[in-house]
């Protein structure tokens, strides 16, 4: 019954449970933060507050050849993060997720699986889609936990 | 009313409120059966002290009611038995006292007769030897001589009882004790002070900037500007810190509120406050009471189960609610935690597995919907709390395990930070540094290199020069040959940071960078500028950190000349009375040292041989004034030290006890007047 927002990150497809997604927008003006982790693209303002912008490709270890242009704003663990992506491909249901153990054989990016950032993967519309484990992703970004 | 009298009234009010809060805490502990052996003694002293202060200031109703409470407590202390049903009339009395202390008159006739009735009811059964089992049921409150021995005179509790470690919920024994001298200042004056300070700093920074560009700086001018600037920085820090208050400033009434809520809801609740000394900006603190009360209400009414339900769930019948404050750098974390039913598994499922509960429970219009309230049992009004937290630039998160309780976590900024910053540019981006840390700005044309470290001579001292890009680790094109630079001073270190351009000073609202950047200590926050750009505010310690610590400690201040007037030791456990006596005696020219009980006084006498006279209260914790007087008389070195007793015990008996112990003079607080005190002191020290 869960719906997912499907996005494109470089050449790969990922999905995030829709209840975490607040909005999608253009990337906007992102200001770099020297000294921050490399997956943090920088910060921007969103409705008067400071929003950290994370490059999802770098977080997941996806090779990228061009700069991201879109922003997916999500909330979990009590805070918000903007994810820099390339495209939003709509909202929809996904088929059954493959077991985590099988995803390696399906050729999923190893980094995401080892770090637990993916809840699983599935074949949908002829495409392999990685499903983000949103709480884990947010935990990995939470500086108070390091 | 004179200003001094108004100040004293204020001191009395503050102190009385604190003591009433502590009385409530003790009474609630007694009511729930986990009081410690000290409770009765400290309750008695609180009532007694409030009575004394009210008597001196002429608040007759407060004095009468405090006196009635004191009488009941005196009897309890003598018999060593505290019937639990005595807590209720005493709690009604503390509520009325609190109202009267705050200036709203209360009818006290009913309360006085209630207390008199309680006292009479229990005077007839006062002999501990005849106690029936149910009346002796709270043994924790009984004094050690309860069994067998006849009731003795009212003595402060036995040393054996004092060695018991206080539980986490016990308040500090005397929270006024740490504050030695306190002035009351209207909060608005502090805000004005901060505003004006910020404005002066801005002018100073403009002036420095203009002078620097005009190259008009003579050595004298720049030294003066530099010194003035540093002092201004200190002034601003002081003004800011004066706005910080401990959380305990607002938690005083909470134990009582929790007890009343729990009773009304038919729940049994143990309430624990920890980290009450954590500090927050006054403005935030003032607005925090309502959300906290709301969250506590949710925890008690919706979270904690009825005792019967809890027992069915194999939990202790009494639930536990905790309010915890933890400093987190520039933020403060406040947690309301309970061990109740938590959210339902359905709520967790409804939110999706491992969804942020805060997100689900705070959805506007969703949280108040019946089905979610039933599922979660906790959504009511949480959206308002979340809006409040967000408006302050904070975060709300909620953790729960079905059946095991819930944590609501408020992450709040330490202060509503309007800060003066100097803005500058490097690598095409804007940065800011707090103006408090900026000594001056200079143009760097030529630097010397020593051991690979660039240095520049500023006002005759060689300071290390570092490119901001190198300090922060950013990629940026090389600096121009002549670059503006900021001379920064922080924590005793000075350094020069070079950049591309200075944009000037301004006041900005500091926005927190949030959890994602919480592990990066280089920045204190960010500010959104008028043109929409974001300035990152660099911590001053970051800008100076490559510099070895400055050497050469400052010379200690020479000791002031020993005052020729005789030094007086004021011994008094009530903060407001102590300050009153101090101000009277100091105004008359006597150097004053203070102690807050007899034991403290003896230690002070051992340390300070200059003390020429002691002014002491009788009723005090640890060691009372009579015992103190005896100890002074018994000591070979001090047997002739004059002692003046000032107390609210006014009977002839009391006076005789004081004189018998060896006091040179005896004054009661009711008839207290400063001319009499000064005349007595003068007579005794011959001045």
- Interchain contact B450–A (C-beta under 8 A): no
Task: Out of A20, A76, A143, name the one closest to residue B517 (CB).
Answer: A143
Beta partners for A18?
none
Q: At what angle do helices B598-607 and B625-634 cross, to 10 degrees?
A: 30
Quick one: average pLDDT of B310-322? 92
Residue A20 near chain B (CB below 8 Å): yes
Question: Is B612 or B163 the better-scoring residue by pLDDT?
Answer: B612
Binary contact (B517, A33; C-beta < 8 A): yes
| pLDDT over 80 at A43, yes or no | yes
Residue pairs spanning A and B at CB distance below 8 A = 105
Number of other CB atoms surrounding residue B121 within 10 Å: 12
Q: Is B417 on the interface with A (CB under 8 A)?
A: no
Q: Which two three-digit tokens encode residue B328?
A: 């987190």
Q: What is the pLDDT of residue B215?
A: 59
Per residue in B192-228, pLDDT (tens digit) is: 787 777 667 666 766 776 776 555 567 787 788 778 8
pLDDT of residue B131: 40
Arithmetic mean of pLDDT, B99-120: 84
pLDDT-based confidence at residue A96 (cuts at 50, 70, 90):
low
Residue found under tokens 């051991």: B451
Judge whether residue B328 has pLDDT over 80.
no
- Check B513 against A50: CB less than 8 A apart: yes
| Paired residues of B569 in beta bridges | B593, B614
How sure is the predictor about B271, in pLDDT bands with cuts at 50, 70 and 90? very high
Which of B351, B469, B534 is the closest to A43 by Cβ? Answer: B534
Determine the pLDDT at residue B233. 76
Note whether A3 contacts B: Cβ–Cβ < 8 A.
Answer: no
Q: What is the DSSP letter of B511?
A: B
How far apart are the C-alpha atoms of B212 and B444, rounded to whole Å? Answer: 12
**What are the residues facing B401 on neighbouring strands?**
B405
Share of residues in chain B with pLDDT > 70 (%): 76
Inter-chain touch A76–B398, beta carbons under 8 Å:
no
Q: What is the average pLDDT across B680-686?
A: 81
Among A45, A50, A146, the residue with its CB nearest the CB of B514 is A50
Say whether residue A39 is in contact with chain B using an 8 A CB cutoff: no
**Structure confidence at residue A61 as a pLDDT band (50, 70, 90):** confident
Residue of B nearest to A52 (CA): B516
Residues 97-126 of A with CB under 8 A from B: none
Measure CB to CB from residue B352 to each of A17, A33, A35 and give the nearest one.
A17
Is pLDDT above 60 for B535?
yes
Instruction: Spell out the long-range contacts of B630-637 with Cβ–Cβ below 8 A and sequence spacing 24 or more.
Output: B630/B661, B630/B662, B631/B598, B631/B602, B632/B605, B632/B662, B633/B661, B633/B662
Q: Is B534 in contact with A34 (Cβ distance < 8 A)? A: no
Q: How far is B321 from chain A (nearest CA, A)?
A: 22
Query: How far apart are the C-alpha atoms of B470 and B497, rounded to whole Å?
Result: 10
User: What integer pLDDT is reported at residue B570 of this predicted model?
Assistant: 92
Domains (range + CATH), chain B: 3-148 (1.20.120.160), 246-413 (3.30.565.10), 418-544 (2.40.50.180), 567-685 (3.40.50.2300)
In sequence order, which residues have a C-beta less than 8 Å from that of residue B258 and are 6 or more positions away?
B269, B271, B296, B300, B321
- In chain B, the N- to C-terminal Cα span, in Å, equals 31
| Confidence at residue B568, expressed as pLDDT on a 0 to 100 scale | 92
Distances (CA, A) of B443 to B465, B501, B502, B542: 12, 10, 10, 21
Cα distance between residue B675 and residue B312, in whole Å: 68
Say if B534 is an interface residue toward chain A (CB within 8 Å).
Answer: yes
Determine the Cα–Cα distance for residues B644 and B629; give it in Å rounded to an integer.
9
In this complex, do A31 and B533 lie within 8 Å of one another by their Cβ atoms?
yes
Angle at B375 between CA B373 and CA B379, to 5 degrees: 35
How many angstroms separate the CA atoms of B75 and B128, rounded?
12
pLDDT band with cut points at 50, 70 and 90 for residue A68: very high
pLDDT in tens, B339-374: 988 887 777 776 654 456 777 777 654 443 334 333
In sequence order, the 6+-apart residues with CB closer than 8 A to the CB of A117 are: A59, A60, A111, A132, A133, A136, A137, A140
Q: Phi and psi for B454 in degrees, rounded to 5?
A: -70, 140
Strongest mean pLDDT among A113-127, B182-196, B524-538: B524-538
Give the mean model confidence (pLDDT) for residues B651-680.
Answer: 78
Does position B138 have pLDDT exceeding 60, yes or no? no
A134 Cα to chain B: minimum distance (Å)? 8
pLDDT of residue B144: 39
pTM of the model: 0.41
Q: Is residue B297's pLDDT more than 50?
A: yes
Which candidate from B393, B398, B515 shows the least CB-CB separation from A144? B515
- To the nearest whole Å, the CA of B510 is away from the closest chain A CA by 10
**Percentage of residues in chain B having pLDDT higher than 90:** 12
- Is the separation of the CB atoms in B358 and B396 below 8 Å? yes
Continuous H helices in B452-535: 468-472
CB-CB under 8 Å, B514 with A45? no
Helix, strand or coil for residue B274? strand
* Position A48 pLDDT exceeds 60: yes
Domains of chain A: 3-145 (2.40.50.180)
CA distance B570 to chain A (A): 48
Interchain proximity A135–B429, CB inside 8 Å: no
Q: Which of B259-263, B301-305, B342-346 has the lowest mean pLDDT?
A: B342-346
Residue B417 burial (CB count, 10 A)? 20
Q: Which A residues, 41 through 60, put their C-beta within 8 Å of a C-beta on chain B?
A: 43-45, 48-50, 52, 54
What would the pLDDT profile of B464-482 be if each residue is shown by its tens digit?
888 898 889 888 888 887 8
How far is the C-alpha of B415 from the C-alpha of B279, rounded, in Å?
A: 9
Max mean pLDDT among A127-131, B553-557, B654-658 falls in A127-131
* DSSP for residue B145: T
Q: For chain B, what is the mean pLDDT?
A: 76
Query: Which residue in this structure is represented by tokens 């003068």?
Result: B682
Residues in chain B: 687
**Contact flag B520-A36 (C-beta cutoff 8 Å):** yes
ipTM attached to this prediction: 0.88
The tokens of A3 are what? 């719906």
Residue B382: which region, alpha, beta or left (left: phi > 0; alpha: psi -120 to 50)? alpha
- Beta-bridged to residue B528, according to DSSP, are B534
- Which element (helix H / strand E) includes B409? strand B405-413
């Amino acid at each position: 019954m869960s719906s997912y927002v499907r996005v494109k990150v470089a050449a790969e497809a990922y999905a995030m449970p829709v209840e975490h997604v607040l909005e999608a927008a253009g990337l906007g003006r992102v200001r770099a933060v020297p000294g921050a982790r490399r997956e943090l693209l920088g910060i921007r303002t969103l409705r008067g507050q400071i929003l950290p912008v994370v490059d999802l490709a770098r977080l997941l270890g996806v090779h990228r050849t061009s700069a991201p242009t879109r922003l997916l704003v999500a909330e979990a663990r009590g805070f918000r993060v903007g994810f820099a992506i390339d495209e939003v491909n709509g909202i929809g249901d996904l088929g059954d997720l493959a077991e985590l153990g099988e995803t390696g054989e399906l050729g999923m990016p190893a980094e995401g699986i080892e770090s637990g950032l993916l809840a699983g993967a599935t074949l949908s519309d002829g495409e392999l889609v990685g499903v983000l484990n949103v709480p884990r992703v947010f935990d990995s970004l939470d500086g108070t936990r390091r | 009313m004179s200003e001094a009298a108004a100040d004293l009234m204020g001191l009395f009010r503050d102190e009385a409120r604190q003591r009433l809060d502590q009385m409530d805490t003790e009474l609630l502990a007694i009511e729930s059966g986990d009081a410690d052996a000290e409770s009765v003694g400290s309750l008695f002293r609180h009532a007694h002290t409030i009575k004394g202060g009210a008597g001196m200031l002429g608040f007759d109703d407060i004095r009468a009611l405090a006196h009635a409470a004191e009488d009941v407590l005196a009897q309890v202390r003598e018999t060593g038995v505290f019937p639990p049903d005595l807590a209720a009339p005493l709690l009604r009395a503390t509520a009325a006292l609190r109202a009267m202390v705050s200036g709203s008159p209360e009818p006290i006739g009913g309360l006085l007769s209630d207390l008199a009735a309680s006292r009479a009811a229990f005077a007839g059964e006062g002999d501990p030897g005849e106690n029936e089992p149910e009346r002796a049921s709270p043994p924790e409150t009984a004094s050690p001589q309860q069994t067998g021995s006849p009731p003795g005179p009212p003595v402060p509790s036995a040393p054996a009882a004092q060695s018991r470690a206080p539980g986490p919920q016990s308040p500090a024994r005397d929270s006024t004790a740490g504050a030695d001298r306190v002035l009351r200042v209207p909060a608005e004056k502090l805000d004005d002070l901060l505003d004006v300070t910020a404005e002066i700093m801005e002018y100073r920074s403009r002036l420095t900037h203009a002078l620097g560009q005009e190259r008009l700086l003579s050595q004298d001018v720049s030294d003066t500007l530099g010194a003035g600037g540093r002092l201004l920085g200190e002034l601003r820090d002081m003004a800011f810190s004066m706005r910080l208050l401990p959380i305990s400033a607002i938690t005083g009434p909470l134990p009582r509120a929790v007890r009343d809520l729990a009773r009304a809801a038919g729940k049994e609740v143990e309430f624990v406050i920890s980290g009450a000394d954590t500090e927050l900006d006054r403005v935030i603190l003032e607005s925090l009471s309502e959300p906290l009360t709301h969250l506590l209400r949710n925890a008690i009414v919706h979270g904690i189960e009825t005792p019967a339900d809890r027992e069915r769930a194999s939990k202790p019948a009494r639930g536990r609610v905790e309010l915890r404050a933890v400093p987190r750098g520039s933020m403060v974390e406040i947690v309301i935690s309970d061990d109740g039913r938590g959210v339902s598994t359905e709520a967790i499922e409804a939110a999706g597995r491992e969804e942020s509960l805060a997100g689900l429970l705070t959805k506007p219009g969703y949280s108040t919907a019946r089905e979610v309230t039933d599922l979660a049992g906790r959504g009511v009004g949480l959206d308002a709390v979340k809006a409040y937290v967000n408006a302050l630039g904070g975060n709300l998160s909620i953790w729960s395990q079905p059946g095991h309780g819930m944590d609501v976590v408020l992450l709040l900024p330490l202060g509503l930070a309007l800060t003066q910053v100097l803005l500058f540019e490097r690598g095409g981006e804007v940065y800011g540094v707090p103006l408090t840390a900026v000594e001056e700005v200079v143009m760097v044309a030529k630097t010397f290199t020593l051991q690979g470290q660039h240095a520049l001579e500023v006002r005759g001292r060689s300071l290390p020069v570092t490119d901001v890009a190198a300090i922060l680790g950013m990629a940026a094109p090389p600096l121009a040959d002549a670059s503006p630079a900021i001379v920064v001073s922080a924590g005793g270190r000075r350094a020069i940071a070079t950049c591309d351009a200075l944009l000037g000073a301004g006041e900005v609202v500091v926005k927190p960078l949030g959890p994602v950047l919480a592990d990066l200590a280089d920045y204190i926050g960010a500010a959104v500028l008028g043109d929409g750009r974001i300035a990152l505010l660099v911590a001053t310690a970051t800008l100076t950190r490559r510099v070895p610590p400055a050497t050469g400690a400052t010379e200690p201040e020479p000791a002031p000349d020993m005052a020729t007037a005789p030094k007086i030791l004021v011994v008094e456990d009530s903060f407001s009375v102590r300050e009153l006596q101090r101000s009277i005696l100091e105004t008359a020219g006597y150097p004053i040292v203070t102690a807050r009980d007899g034991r403290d006084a003896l230690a002070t006498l051992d340390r300070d041989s200059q003390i020429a006279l002691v002014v002491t209260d009788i009723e005090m914790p640890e060691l009372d004034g009579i015992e103190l007087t005896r100890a002074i008389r018994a000591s070979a070195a001090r047997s002739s030290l004059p002692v003046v007793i000032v107390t609210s015990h006014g009977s002839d008996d009391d006076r005789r006890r004081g004189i018998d112990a060896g006091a040179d003079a005896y004054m009661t607080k009711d008839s207290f007047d400063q001319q009499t005190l000064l005349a007595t002191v003068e007579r005794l020290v011959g001045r």
